[in-house]
Amino acid sequence: MDLENTKIDIGFQRTCQCPPTHINCLTAKEWIKNQLGVWQFTYEKRDIRDRSLHPATFPISLAKKVISLFSHEGELVLDPFVGSGTVLVAAQDINRNAVGFDLQEKYVNLSSQRLGSNNFFNHSKQIAIKDDAINISNYLSDNTVSLIFTSPPYANLLNRKRKNKSRRGDERKNDQYLKVEQYSQDPNDLGTMPLEEYTERMGEIFEGLLPLLRPKAHCVINVPDMWWENERITIHVSLIEEMRKRGFELRNIIIWDRTNIVNRIGIFGWPSNYITMGVTFEYLLDFWKPESD
Ligand SMILES: C[S@@+](CC[C@H](N)C(=O)[O-])C[C@H]1O[C@@H](n2cnc3c(N)ncnc32)[C@H](O)[C@@H]1O
């Protein structure tokens, strides 16, 4: 197969009138609001909250904030693990070109469906493609991507029956009880891999994405840590170390404080074992491609 021919036709140049040195289209006033290191969001009607459609989504408003901070109108945003297409919907709202990849056809279809019913007045293009993230460089040219924003699978930490320990009383045995909420059991699905294999695979994928990024373009990865058999699994530490090994520089860690959208939590650990609930916050690991690469 001639891989050059599979490159997709999508815009990647600014269409705004911002001065060349600006990293985004924000005014100084808007910029100030973005200086806080802890962020909160609420859901809107278009957000997917039905776990049978997709088990792990994030709010459109989160994607919009990251995209507004790290790209200009007309530039190209990439989500290697697009899921229900939230990044694409946000990109469409604020006029960025965007491409997302997912192993599962059902999620690519869901993403396309969401895009179809969204805003028709933007001048950019958003596409969801079914493929393994390891193959993305076949589709995009070097130095064209201005931002990678994604929420990857969390190794195999969700690939087990839900016990709903955070729910109280009768609520524990809800529709999700004892279900495995995993995207698929495909051996290439990062959600089936033990942490070490997962980290290595993430490293390979992101090393392959580095040349696609423009110098100093950001790569923001959203991950929580998790509890597994009473042990704190620090996915964010594994990922930071791996991304550094693969040539990315860590610029920032932002906390997505989810306390305002988590409800009905149980009493974990009381009275002898203090643990914070994994679901109350997640990390936004903000890397960039160093200029010299
Ligand atoms: C946490 S979800 C992304 C959710 C997304 N942020 C949203 O709001 O819907 C991770 C996605 O990665 C996909 N995935 C897993 N392994 C993959 C791989 N090797 N290549 C591409 N996609 C993969 C899964 O099918 C899943 O939809």
**CATH number of the domain to which 131 belongs:** 3.40.50.150
Is the C-beta atom of 190 inside 6 A of ligand 1? yes
Residue 27 in any domain: the answer is no
Residue 23 in any domain: the answer is no
For the chain, the straight-line distance linking the first and the last C-alpha, in angstroms and rounded, comes to 29
Q: Give residue-wise pLDDT tens across range 187-224.
A: 899 998 989 999 999 999 999 999 999 999 999 999 99
pLDDT at 180: 55
CA of 121 to the centre of ligand 1 (A): 28
Residue 208 in any domain: the answer is yes
Q: Give residue-wise pLDDT tens across range 232-282.
A: 899 999 999 999 999 999 999 999 999 998 876 667 778 898 877 767 899
pLDDT at 273: 84
- HSE, side-chain direction, 13 A CA sphere, residue 218: 21
Q: How far is 86 from 77, CA to CA, in rounded Å?
A: 12
Instruction: Domain count for the chain, please give it.
Output: 1
Residue 84 in any domain: the answer is yes
Distance of CA 146 to the CA centre of its chain: 15
Q: What does pTM read for this prediction?
A: 0.92
Q: Give residue-wise pLDDT tens across range 84-106.
A: 999 999 999 999 999 999 999 99
Residue 123 pLDDT level (bands cut at 50, 70, 90): confident
Which two structure tokens, joined as six digits, stand for 258? 């989810």
The angle, 0 to 180 degrees and rounded to 10, between the axes of the packed helices 105-116 and 86-93 is 20
Output the residue whose Cα is nearest ligand 1's atom 24.
Answer: 183
CB atoms within 10 A of CB 285: 21
Domain of residue 239: give its range: 3-16+33-288
Residue 278 in any domain: the answer is yes
Is the C-beta atom of 56 inside 6 A of ligand 1? yes
CA of 132 to the centre of ligand 1 (A): 10
Contacts of 140 (CB under 8 A, 6+ apart): 7, 8, 76, 78, 99, 212
Report whether 72 contacts 16 (CB < 8 A). yes
Report whether 228 contacts 193 (CB < 8 A). no
Which two structure tokens, joined as six digits, stand for 99? 């491409």
The answer to whether residue 177 scores a pLDDT higher than 60 is no
Residue 8 in any domain: the answer is yes
**CA separation, residue 138 to residues 101, 212, 261, 282 (Å):** 12, 10, 38, 31
Residue 38 in any domain: the answer is yes
Average pLDDT over residues 17-23: 93
Residue 25 in any domain: the answer is no
Question: Higher confidence at residue 254 or residue 164?
Answer: 254
The answer to whether residue 167 scores a pLDDT higher than 60 is no
Q: Which ligand 1 atom is nearest residue 56's CA? A: 1
Which two structure tokens, joined as six digits, stand for 5? 């021919």
